[in-house]
Amino acid sequence: EELYRINGWGEPYFSINAAGHVTVSPMGDRGGSLDLYELTNALKQRNLGLPLLIRFSDILEDRIERLNACFSRAIARYSYAGDYRGVFPVKCNQQRHLIEDLVRFGKPHQFGLEAGSKPELMIALALLDTPGSLLICNGYKDQEYIETAMLARRLGHTPIIVLEQIEEVELVIEASRKLNIEPILGVRAKLSAKGIGRWGTSAGDRAKFGLTIPEIIRAVEQLRSTDMLNSLQLLHFHIGSQISSISVIKDAIREAGQIYGELVKLGANMNYLDVGGGLGVDYDGSKTNFYASKNYSMQNYANDVVAAMKDACQQRGIAVPTLVSESGRAIASHQSVLVFDVLGTSDVISEIPELPADDDPLVLRNLYETYQSISVDNYQEAYHDATQFKEEAVSMFGFGYISLTDRARVERLYWACCRKILEIARQQDYVPDDLEDLEKIMASIYYVNFSVFQSAPDAWAIDQLFPIMPIHRLNEEPTCRGTLADLTCDSDGKIDQFIDLRDVKYVLELHPLKKNLPAEDGQFATGADSASHSQSTHEPYYLGMFLSGAYQEIMGNLHNLFGDTNTVHIKLTPKGYQIEHVVKGDTMREVLGYVQYDAEDLIENIRRRSEQALQEHQITLEESQLLLQNYERSLSRYTYLSS
């Protein structure tokens, strides 16, 4: 538990049970749990191969409940004379089953949706059917977007068109005249309170979206001059996602509170304050302002929003607004877990070295002496000596003074020294700086059956940290240290940064693969230098990537044509669980279709070529039939490897 910090980031949904498996408690503290390892095996038996994205709809419901409960408590605590009406930003995860669940679970709280583009507006308009919920319309807008949003009022929706660019003011005035519909408008302010971290530039004068203060004044004047100032009812800001520090949120709300008050003074019909997204997720469980964490709870967040807005309104003697938040990450992250399997490992050779003979090269004998002398008292010095002898041997080899075989012996001996030194270093409280890399250099590579580009694009693009850990064997000591290499033939397709307490670690504690099953065909072969490969078939070893339900799915791409993964929606029942939906991952036929290949044409091409090869006696009839069968069968298969 300590190693993977599951108590920190997993609480209350993920923990470890007595069998050493990860347990999922989708309803949090309200009871009911599932063994993730058993569940994965049960799903595999239903022909759902790994990698497999498992969505727990009860977690989604629990997140919505929690957010609303936090705001209700804050409203009661501060006797706030207004309501909270949250919306879910569709951009965070647009998958139909998820949005349908979200709308359903949100009904008791009149939870709405936020659209950031025209296609997202299409989803929100068609799926949102909760009376009294808000439909916040953000993003770039054209005439069609604005007219559609305005007409949605006739269907009973409450669309709020948020002006994000000054040009949109003219467009809404025109559309309102043309349709004779009075819209509800909002304005997104570019706050000067700065966001922090990766998305910090979402705020400030040069932010991509929002109106500067002079532009807000201009918008108010334009609306006043067309008698539409009454339509302006909402102030919105968004200072970036994953805000790790509560003080940043407080500063933003303080500034927004003042702007809100000024808009009331200018005559706008203000009713809503929309604080955008930013509510963070504690990916590393450290509860700090480290970028992968946050130093506040959901309750602190709600309290600060409510209290600050009450203060701002009280000072000016104006009515408090309905509070809106657009929390995406905090609602969608926890509900999905990606389970994937390890295909093989590549380990640094670390056998016990043999004693050199008297006539072996001096450098080899010196290195052996270093190996033998390594102890707690000299391990740092021994590391430098060993490195120097190895470099000497490489340079001697370059001049032809030692043979290839001797160079191989030197390298093996060097790795043996490093292993011995590392074992000593791990026992120490303090690891000297120059040995810090040793753990990384000696790490095994675990080849895993998924694509970072498809399933964890933020890990690749912006070094986002997600909790990753084995989902079983957790009552065995993980004696190996490894990094993960994915299926793509791209050297960026790796995960070599993992969560640590307020920090990043470069290796993950993992278990050695258990190679005790009889060999089968179709083994996975690895290939890397200075390494031995475990190519034999091994017992399944499953890892889970957690808290990845926000943004990853839609931003994932088809690099190397690895497609969407299989997805299942699991719901707890009194008797266990129920599979609510299965969304099969892409087949090869489908991914090839995305890049305009027609599967039938491809098959025909192969058939023609086999016929030609048959005629030229390059292939037998049996071989050509086997090739065609394999080719055709592959096209309807999953793009990932079958374990």
| Site stretch for ligand PLP (CB under 6 A), options 235-243, 430-438, 581-589, 603-611 | 235-243
CB of 625 to ligand PLP, least distance (A): 53
Q: Is 4 annotated as a binding residue?
A: no
CB of 328 to ligand PLP, least distance (A): 3
Spatial distance between the Cα atoms of 432 and 421, rounded to a whole number of angstroms:
12
| Site stretch for ligand PLP (CB under 6 A), options 53-61, 214-222, 322-330, 528-536 | 322-330
Residue 478 tokens, joined:
């993980």
Give one DSSP letter per residue of 167-229, joined into a string: HHHHHHHHHHHHHT---EEEEEB--SS---GGGGGGSSTT-SSSB-HHHHHHHHHHHHHTT-G
Beta bridge partners of 576: 573
Q: Is 275 annotated as a binding residue?
A: yes
Contact between 277 and ligand PLP (CB under 6 A)?
yes
Contact between 293 and ligand PLP (CB under 6 A)?
no
Angle (deg, nearest 10), helices 379-398 and 362-373: 160
Angle (deg, nearest 10), helices 246-265 and 213-225: 30
- Figure out which of the listed residues 183, 328, 470, 544 binds ligand PLP, where binding follows CB under 6 A: 328
Spatial distance between the Cα atoms of 508 and 458, rounded to a whole number of angstroms:
18
CB of 62 to ligand PLP, least distance (A): 17
Contact between 347 and ligand PLP (CB under 6 A)?
no
- Figure out which of the listed residues 86, 112, 186, 276 binds ligand PLP, where binding follows CB under 6 A: 276
Find all residues with CB under 8 Å of 317, minimum gap 6, and list them: none
According to DSSP H, which parts of 452-598 are helical?
Answer: 452-455, 457-461, 552-555, 588-594
CB of 106 to ligand PLP, least distance (A): 15
Q: Tell me the pairing of strands 480-485 and 135-137.
A: unpaired
x/- contact string, 544-573, with ligand PLP (CB under 6 A)? Answer: ------x-----------------------
CA distances from 488 to 455, 493, 494, 564 (A): 12, 6, 9, 14
- Scanning the structure block, which residue is given the tokens 């087949």? 587
* Selection from 331, 553, 585 nearest residue 457 by Cα: 553
Q: Three-state DSSP class for 52?
A: strand
Q: What H or E segment, with its residue span, contains residue 406?
A: helix 404-427
Phi, psi angle pair for 478, to nearest 5°? -80, 100
Q: Toward ligand PLP, which CB reaches closer, 191 or 342?
A: 191
Number of residues that bind ligand PLP (CB under 6 A): 16
- Figure out which of the listed residues 278, 353, 457, 556 binds ligand PLP, where binding follows CB under 6 A: 278
Contact between 241 and ligand PLP (CB under 6 A)?
yes
Name the DSSP letter for residue 512.
Answer: P
Q: Is 273 annotated as a binding residue?
A: yes
* Secondary structure of 411-447 in HEC code, one letter for each residue: HHHHHHHHHHHHHHHHHCCCCCHHHHHHHHHCCEEEE
Contact between 285 and ligand PLP (CB under 6 A)?
no
Q: Toward ligand PLP, which CB reaches closer, 115 or 591?
A: 115
Q: Is 283 annotated as a binding residue?
A: yes
CB of 217 to ligand PLP, least distance (A): 22
Phi, psi angle pair for 268, to nearest 5°? -75, 155
Phi, psi angle pair for 446, to nearest 5°? -100, 115
CB of 199 to ligand PLP, least distance (A): 6
Q: Toward ligand PLP, which CB reaches closer, 202 or 231?
A: 202
Spatial distance between the Cα atoms of 309 and 324, rounded to a whole number of angstroms:
12
x/- contact string, 13-32, with ligand PLP (CB under 6 A)? Answer: --------------------
Q: Is 277 annotated as a binding residue?
A: yes
Q: Toward ligand PLP, which CB reaches closer, 300 or 532?
A: 300
In the complex, residue closest to ligand PLP by CB? 277
Q: Toward ligand PLP, which CB reaches closer, 279 or 320?
A: 279
Which positions from 124 through 143 interact with ligand PLP, judged by CB under 6 A?
138
Beta bridge partners of 188: 236
Q: Toward ligand PLP, which CB reaches closer, 200 or 512?
A: 200
Phi, psi angle pair for 539, to nearest 5°? -65, 145
x/- contact string, 585-604, with ligand PLP (CB under 6 A)? Answer: --------------------
| Site stretch for ligand PLP (CB under 6 A), options 66-74, 166-174, 276-284, 301-309 | 276-284
Q: Is 507 annotated as a binding residue?
A: no
Spatial distance between the Cα atoms of 208 and 620, rounded to a whole number of angstroms:
63
Spatial distance between the Cα atoms of 25 and 58, rounded to a whole number of angstroms:
9
| Site stretch for ligand PLP (CB under 6 A), options 103-111, 328-336, 419-427, 448-456 | 328-336
Q: Toward ligand PLP, which CB reaches closer, 326 or 564?
A: 326
8 Å CB contact between 71 and 111 = no
x/- contact string, 74-113, with ligand PLP (CB under 6 A)? Answer: ---------------x--x---------------------
Q: Three-state DSSP class for 570?
A: strand
Q: Is 279 annotated as a binding residue?
A: yes
Q: Is 276 annotated as a binding residue?
A: yes
| Active-site position among 92, 137, 480, 489 | 489
- List strand residue ranges (DSSP E) for 443-565, in order: 444-448, 468-470, 480-485, 494-495, 498-500, 503-505, 508-510, 531-534, 542-545
| Site stretch for ligand PLP (CB under 6 A), options 260-268, 272-280, 481-489, 594-602 | 272-280
8 Å CB contact between 101 and 65 = no
CB of 280 to ligand PLP, least distance (A): 7
Q: Toward ligand PLP, which CB reaches closer, 67 or 374?
A: 67
Whether residue 489 lies in the annotated active site = yes
Q: Cis omega (within 30 of 0) on the bond before 51?
A: yes
| Site stretch for ligand PLP (CB under 6 A), options 178-186, 254-262, 325-333, 339-347 | 325-333
CA distances from 456 to 6, 286, 588 (A): 19, 21, 20
- Figure out which of the listed residues 147, 251, 326, 458 binds ligand PLP, where binding follows CB under 6 A: 326
CB of 58 to ligand PLP, least distance (A): 21
| Bind-site residues for substrate | 273-283
| Bind-site residues | 273-283
The residues that are catalytic are 489
Q: Which residues are near ligand PLP by CB under 6 A?
A: 89, 92, 138, 238, 241-242, 276-279, 326-330, 550
